[in-house]
Homo-oligomer: A and B are copies of this chain.
Amino acid sequence: MLSRQQYEEASRLQIFSGCRPETIAMLLEGAFLHRFPERIDLAKEAETPDFLHVVISGAVELYAHYRDRETTIEVIGPPNSFITAAVVLDLPNLKSARVIEPAKILMLPAASVRKALNEDAAFAARIATELATAYRYITKDLKNQKLRSSLERLANWLVRRDRESGSRHRVVIPFEKRVLAAQLGMVPENLSRGFATLARFGVKVKGSALEIHDPQALENLAKPDPLIDDPSS
Contacts and interface: CB of A to CB of B under 8 A. Distances in A.
A133 B89 contact: yes
B139 A94 contact: yes
A92 B136 CA distance: 10
B138 A139 contact: yes
Contacts of A131: 85, 128, 131-132, 135
Interface in A114-138: 117-122, 124-125, 127-129, 131-136, 138
Identical subunits present: 2
Interface in A162-176: none
Q: Which one of A86, A139, A145 has the greatest number of beta carbons of chain B within 10 Å?
A: A139
A67 interface: yes
B129 A118 contact: no
A66 B148 contact: yes
Contact of A223 (B67, B134, B139): B67
Contact of A146 (B117, B120, B133, B145): B145
A204 interface: no
Contact of A117 (B128, B139, B233): B128
8 contacts: A73-B146, A92-B233, A94-B139, A94-B140, A118-B122, A121-B121, A124-B128, A145-B185
